[in-house]
Structure 1
Amino acid sequence: MLGISFYPDKESIADIQAYIRKAAKLGYRRCFTSLLELGKNADDTIDRYQQVIETARENHMAVILDVNPSIFEALDISYKDLHFFKDIGATGIRLDSNFDGLEESLMSFNEFGLDIELNMSNDSSPIFDFQPNMTHVIGCHNFYPQPFTGLSLDYFMKCSAYYKQKGMRTAAFVTAATGVDGPHDYNDGLPTLEMHRKMDIVTQAKHLIATGLIDDIIISNAIPDDAELEALSQLDQSQLKLAVDPVASISPVEQEILFENQHFNRGDINEYSIRSTFVRVKYQTADIPEFNAVDQLQPGDITIGNNSFGQYKGELGLVTKPMPNVGGHKNVVGHVTTSNQFLIPYITSWSKFKFEVNE
């Protein structure tokens, strides 16, 4: 599921409402916003939030509000009675910091059916010691406005695996290059992962999908331009799709093998290539003359077995380690883009994947 963020204290109500309607038409289905910056004019701020939340709900979008214990105190809200959040239209609340575990557990049984979203950028949560109602417990990572403060990949994987293993729906943030506003005065991008800070938004999202640990991808900053919003909406969220620069003069049959088939890696993996073998059955009678059968194959090269390769004709390979093209049996038909090559190791035993032309 894809999501967006909005910040009513930074943008006009009309602009946010237009943004929500546009995103909803593109298939975005959830919204994030923060109450952590609630100021002295709380009533005016809440009214602005409520107007925007109403628009989101009218467009069939869930709305999660970021809160912490101090917000409960400021608004005189008891963890035993969450009607305030229901009354302003929220579908859930994200607990940016922990209570004591028991309180979160009790919240998950709230009479309004509100989701309780945990901060997944902590590597554990006390809630699980108190038998929460897992039907209404979900999770979402933080985002990080300051450069060099985002999560490391190892820690992100550790935390995400911990919560995913609990059976929760999980979420993380990507940052738009054209989005300006976050909840804070300062931001230099708002990614969850530090390595994503300067990546394009689609590659960030592909990485989250490739980990297999994140269900929902949320644009953290607002309001991105139409091109970024639309590009992310077109992403295949079910599997990794690698961007490819096809070689010039690729044959129609090789282009079909490459771009119009569902690929998956064999279960008996090796260290030199990813092998999509079932396509060779489909194309066993096709004519695949020798073409661009270079002597040495490099990581990121995509190969297809040519007519000289016997029973391996038509097999697609994705090179992962330098190796010779023994006998010239493999045509190099394309190359995974430099920006997407770091995603290749996420294709493991039986992984499904596809290719798309680099735009």
Structure 2
Amino acid sequence: MLGFSIYLNKDVTSETEQYIKRLKKNNFNGIFTSVHIPEEDSEKYKERLLKLGSLAKVNNLNVMVDIDRNSLKKLDISLSSLNYLKKQGITGLRIDDKLASEQIATLSQNIEIGINGSTFTEEELRQLSIFNAKMENIQAWFNFYPCPDTGISRQFFEKQIRMFKKYGMKVQAFFAGDENRRGPLYEGLPTLECQRTYDPLASILKLKELGADLFYLGDPGISDESLDQIRTYQETGSIILYTKKAENVSEKMYNYILGKHNQRPDPAEYVVRCEDSRMHKVPIINSENVIERVKGSITLNNRFYQRYMGEIQLVKGDLPMNKKVNVVGRVDNGSISLIDSIQPGQEFYLYKK
């Protein structure tokens, strides 16, 4: 499931409503928000939370609220108030600090609970079982990390996922946005450090491959281009990669590689080969911009490759210069990791950025 984040440090306005509708239209079905409340703003946050819940309810969206022990008290959230919250559109509570296992177990009998996937231990999971937690109501929600270099490693992420899956739990992770990133650092809000500069779709596909089930946009913004990538993949299984022309190449040669392609069913080790690209009626392709092929390069075989002239390839890793191969463009930095996601026979598109 896809979700997105809305933060309550600002009022919930008509602009917020339009953003919610935009993401809902693009197959996002959940909202994450946080109520770590400044002392003087408890009433304001409660009002904003209930307004957000109302909008979510109208749009048939889930709402997971990140909450700590102090906020529980400030908002007067207890077992007796959970039914009221659910009626207002709040469907889950993500517990950010170390609430006692018995209390989490009790809450899970009445509402969906997100435990902290980044810090929860197997001993704590055993404790939940001892206190008869309703495990089907508990999900593992990882943190996001605003500071560069502080996101968790892929290895630790995989280790935690294996632990949670042993208990039959669903796992959530955040991916960074590519527009309107959250301040004060504006460096993206991913769970995995390696995904800080990824396109959203690239992050989603990799998180899915690693075993996650729920994918939430951490930042409060995402571009139309990224939404197109996500929607196209969901609806057709095709991958859109945004590209740029190489500096020393003619527009005509660059335009030749744009459009729809399929990877061959027998994938190569170092490149993605575009099936049928050399089968089209191609002009004589002279040697042009014959340089080192760095990862993400888009290449076109020139006339020195004889019957292989015209073949289009995407480079998976750095390769040396080859006098038979023109470098005509490059996959945009954020989309480079999508190259590895292209499966044998899969359809993909090369678009001009």
Tell me the TM-score normalised to structure 1 length: 0.70
In the TM superposition, what is the alpha-carbon distance from 1:65 to its structure 2 partner? 0.7
Counterpart check, 1:336 vs 2:335: no
1:191 counterpart residue number? 189
Q: Give per-residue Cα distances to partners, 1:57-108, cap 9 Å, x unaligned.
A: 2122221111234444555555698424313311222122344556545544
Of 348-357 and 15-24, more deviation after overlay is shown by 348-357
In the TM superposition, what is the alpha-carbon distance from 1:260 to its structure 2 partner? 0.6
Q: Structure 1 residues 31 and 344, CA, compared in 2 at 3 Å: closer, same or farther? A: closer
Retained in 2: the 8 A contact 1:174–1:217?
no
Q: Structure 1 residues 48 and 335, CA, compared in 2 at 3 Å: closer, same or farther? A: closer
Q: Structure 1 residues 357 and 123, CA, compared in 2 at 3 Å: closer, same or farther? A: farther
2:243 counterpart residue number? 244
In the TM superposition, what is the alpha-carbon distance from 1:49 to its structure 2 partner? 1.5
2:142 counterpart residue number? 141
Q: Give per-residue Cα distances to partners, 1:89-130, cap 9 Å, x unaligned.
A: 1122212234455654554443xxx43223232374556435
Q: Name the aligned partner's letter for residue 142 of structure 1.
A: N
In the TM superposition, what is the alpha-carbon distance from 1:54 to its structure 2 partner? 0.5
Q: Pairwise mapping of residues 223-238 of structure 1 onto structure 2 (< 5 A)?
A: 224=221, 228-236=222-230, 238=233
**2 CA distance for matches of 1:27 and 1:346?**
24
Q: Secondary structure of 1:260's match?
A: strand
Q: Name the aligned partner's letter for residue 224 of structure 2.
A: E
Q: Pairwise mapping of residues 315-354 of structure 1 onto structure 2 (< 5 A)?
A: 316-319=312-315, 320-325=317-322, 328=324, 330=325, 332-341=327-336, 343=337, 346-347=340-341, 350=344, 354=348
Q: Secondary structure of 1:356's match?
A: strand
Structure 2 residues without counterparts, runs of 5 or longer: none
Q: Secondary structure of 1:57's match?
A: helix
Q: Secondary structure of 2:10's match?
A: coil
Q: Secondary structure of 1:170's match?
A: strand
Structure 1 residues without counterparts, runs of 5 or longer: none
Q: Pairwise mapping of residues 208-357 of structure 1 onto structure 2 (< 5 A)?
A: 208-211=204-207, 212-213=209-210, 214-222=212-220, 224=221, 228-236=222-230, 238=233, 241-246=240-245, 247=249, 248-250=251-253, 254-255=256-257, 259-263=259-263, 266=266, 270=269, 273-276=270-273, 279-280=275-276, 284=279, 286-287=281-282, 289-292=284-287, 297-299=292-294, 300-304=296-300, 316-319=312-315, 320-325=317-322, 328=324, 330=325, 332-341=327-336, 343=337, 346-347=340-341, 350=344, 354-357=348-351
Q: Structure 1 residues 53 and 38, CA, compared in 2 at 3 Å: closer, same or farther? A: farther
Q: Give per-residue Cα distances to partners, 1:231-274, cap 9 Å, x unaligned.
A: 3322236476432224532387x53xx5312336746x53xx22
Instruction: Figure out how many residues of one structure are paired with residues of the other and give that number.
Output: 334
Retained in 2: the 8 A contact 1:147–1:188?
no
Q: Secondary structure of 2:63's match?
A: strand
Q: Pairwise mapping of residues 47-126 of structure 1 onto structure 2 (< 5 A)?
A: 47-75=47-75, 77-78=77-78, 82-101=82-101, 103-105=103-105, 107-110=107-110, 114-122=111-119, 124=121, 126=123
Please report the RMSD computed on the Cα atoms of aligned residues, expressed in angstroms. Answer: 4.2
Q: Secondary structure of 2:20's match?
A: helix
Q: Secondary structure of 2:241's match?
A: strand
Tell me the TM-score normalised to structure 2 length: 0.71
Kindly, what percent of the aligned residue pairs are identical?
21
**2 CA distance for matches of 1:351 and 1:116?**
40
